[in-house]
Amino acid sequence: MNSSKKSPWSSTPPTAERIVSAIERIGNVLRTGAWQFATAEGLNPAQVDILAILLSRSEGVRLSWLAQQMGVTTASASDSVAALVTKNLVEKAKAADDGRAIALRLTLDGKALATKISEGMSFAFDAVEALTKSQQDAMYAGLLAVIGQLQKSERFPEIRTCVTCRYFAPHTSKDKEGLHHCRLVNAPLPSAMLRLDCPEHEAAEPHVDSFNWKALQRT
């Protein structure tokens, strides 16, 4: 073999670059799906995002939190919310934890539409479900680790994941690596079952978050 011959792969970008590119392309496909849906329903993509976010937050959310999740200004989120209120898809009510604050919630029509949107993205679920269980577990673990890194640099909005929850106890089993525990329900919690958006989540102290993210890298 002629070792001086140039490798046919020398121009291949590094793995990290190809992973980011793959995530970006998948994101584009999902956004296009949302665009098509938005157009058909007379909504814009930001409005579709709001419906999707509110679907798992039946208790209601503050406008500032919503803006943070969407990565837009409060004024921009406020415009989108106002349009959804006019369409009777979102309602403003008193926040359960503070009677003077306003919480945004889906109306019944909004909930029905948000559910339809979620079903409309089933092509993405089908694509992931076609993978083997071990591929899905590895992909989920990898994506969760990337989210953890992004959160370290404050580039990922707050999420209700087990890793940042005060009830989460990592690696509680001496015999089985990657077996954690949820202290709320007092049950073992395997890595593959870690939640991304748990309604019972209660934020842990920041130093506990960072300990948990590090601990998870051992999984």
Sole window of 30-38, 72-80, 144-152, 164-172 interacting with ligand SF4 (rule: CB under 6 A): 164-172
Which residues have C-beta within 8 Å of that of residue 120, sequence separation ≥ 6?
33, 37
Closest CA to 162 of 199, 204, 195, 211: 195
Q: In this chain, which stretch among 11-19, 73-81, 163-171, 207-215 interacts with ligand SF4, using CB under 6 A? A: 163-171
CB half-sphere exposure, 18, CA atoms < 13 A: 5
Number of residues that bind ligand SF4 (CB under 6 A): 10
Burial of 112 (0-12, 13-18, 19+ CB in 10 A): exposed
Residue from the set 65, 167, 172, 210 that interacts with ligand SF4 by CB under 6 A: 167
Nearest to 168 by CA among 215, 107, 106, 119: 215
Site pattern 34..63 for ligand SF4 (x: CB under 6 A): ------------------------------
DSSP output for 62-88 = -HHHHHHHHTS-HHHHHHHHHHHHHTT
Note whether 179 binds ligand SF4 by CB under 6 A. no
CB of 55 to ligand SF4, least distance (A): 18
| Cα(85)–Cα(152) distance, integer angstroms | 35
Phi-psi region of 5 (alpha: psi -120 to 50; beta: other; left: phi over 0): beta
Question: Which one of the spans 50-58, 123-131, 149-157, 194-202 is the region binding ligand SF4 (CB under 6 A)?
Answer: 194-202
Compose the 113-152 pattern: x for residues touching ligand SF4 by CB under 6 A, - for all others: ----------------------------------------
For position 168 contacting ligand SF4 by CB under 6 A, the verdict is yes
DSSP three-state, residue 144: helix
Task: Check residue 182 for interaction with ligand SF4 (CB under 6 A).
Answer: yes
Q: Which CB sits closer to ligand SF4, 144 or 165?
A: 165
184 binds ligand SF4 (CB under 6 A): yes
- Using left for φ > 0, alpha for ψ between -120 and 50, and beta otherwise, residue 171 falls in left
Contact residues for ligand SF4 (CB under 6 A)? 162, 165, 167-168, 182, 184, 195, 198, 200-201
